[in-house]
A = this chain, B = another copy of it.
Amino acid sequence: MSFSFQVEATNGAARAGRFFTSHGEVKTPVFMPVGTVASVKGLSQELLDQLGVEILLNNTYHLYLRPGVETVRQLGGVQKFMAWNKPILTDSGGFQVFSLSEMRKLTEDGVQFRSHIDGSLHFFSPETSLAAEIGLGANIVMAFDECTEFPADYERARKSMEMTARWAKRSKDYFEAHKREVPWFEEKTRQHGSEQSQALFGIVQGGMYPDLRRESAERTVEIGFPGHAIGGLSVGEPREKTWEMVSATIPLLPADKPRYVMGVGTPEEIVEYVRLGVDMMDCVMPTRAARHGLLFTSEGKLNIKNARFARDEGPIDPNCHCPVCARYSRAYLRHLYSSQEILAQVLNTVHNLSHYLDIMRRVRETIISGEFAGTRSAV
């Protein structure tokens, strides 16, 4: 078995653990930076290493369109392709098909869509999506789901959830039949001395309806995945709804397997999700906000564009130990941002990502030391 998960410490529902993949172990709770097209925008893989990133998320939809699955497969899979020898997770493309592409046509079989790049016509089904994820060769791959839009009425959300449940089974079947075709399968199996495959996670949908979430969780768990995700969140709903859905769903997912909430959240929220028992999260927020000059600090958000930083010699956050806060002043970072220098995006991203990763590191430490519940303000 190439993928296993170990809970190391618990503190209320919160827990610290680690999982093991063919490309190394990952300590949880973990925040996964988003590297859409096999690059965390602006950061070299050397920098990601330096910041302590353990696992990245790549988007199947984007890599499928460019450079194409066959190219990545021939180059040995996405880790070799992007020269990142640590674990990677790919989503199934479901979310992007629903949020980025044009003219999609949904049937039981799958979804036809047009590329947002050149308008060309494509078709994703559980089978074609999993074929893409197997060709890309990430360590964790996601079942192909239908991301229910917001708002969706009860009937629509039910139908969509049921489709996701049927697609989950088809994803699993396809994966089991083809998982030995992953580009690094033979090499890693030889290296580890045991059969190494990707790990396929199931995804819970159900819109904003707790009973649909419950049914979706049950039907997904039944299929038998080594990990479970909660999808269909961060689609425009109020934050309390997101919280409510995660709260309602987490207890229904097996505690001996990783639980992943897709596409959340703010620095405060990720701590609260850990409190509910979430092991994995990903979000574009730290990287995207950075590119817009929004920086996270121990004292809240800061807009580096602000004129009051023009002659400010201090670091972004005096409590931060990232390489940017160690070297550069707010005045310089404001100047770079105002001058639309590339370096502004690079340095802002380094800082924001460090902020997220540091939070997760401290959360993990306090769970292990047993101090987590009492440290709401300390993390």
Chain A contacts to B: CB under 8 angstroms: 37-39, 41-46, 62, 66-67, 71, 74-75, 81-83, 310-311, 313, 323, 327-329, 331-332, 334-336, 338-339, 341-343, 345-347
Contact = CB atoms under 8 A, between A and B. Distances in A.
Given A75-B311, A327-B83, A342-B345, A335 B66 contact: yes
A315 B213 CA distance: 48
Given A46-B327, A66-B335, A81-B331, A343 B311 contact: no
* 9 nearest CB pairs, A to B: A42-B342, A67-B335, A39-B343, A37-B339, A83-B327, A39-B341, A83-B328, A41-B342, A74-B311
Contacts of A327: 45-46, 83
Given A75-B311, A342-B345, A331 B67 contact: yes
B345 A82 contact: no
Nearest to A323: B46
A329 B75 contact: yes
Nearest to A70: B311
B66 A338 contact: yes
A71 B310 contact: yes
Counting every copy of the chain, the complex holds 2
Contacts of A343: 39, 41-44
Contacts of A74: 311
Given A44-B347, A45-B327, A83-B327, A67 B310 contact: yes
Q: Which of A82, A323, A327, A332 has the most CB of B within 10 A?
A: A332
B75 A336 contact: no
Contacts of A339: 37, 39, 62, 66
Contacts of A336: 37, 39
A39 to B, nearest CB: 5
Given A66-B339, A71-B331, 17 more contacts: A37-B336, A38-B332, A39-B341, A42-B342, A44-B343, A46-B323, A46-B327, A67-B310, A67-B331, A67-B338, A71-B311, A75-B311, A75-B329, A81-B331, A81-B332, A83-B328, A83-B332
A45 B327 CA distance: 9
Nearest to A343: B39
A95 to B, nearest CB: 19
A45 B346 CA distance: 12
A343 to B, nearest CB: 5
A221 B39 CA distance: 52
A74 B75 CA distance: 52
Contact of A75 (B46, B81, B313): B313
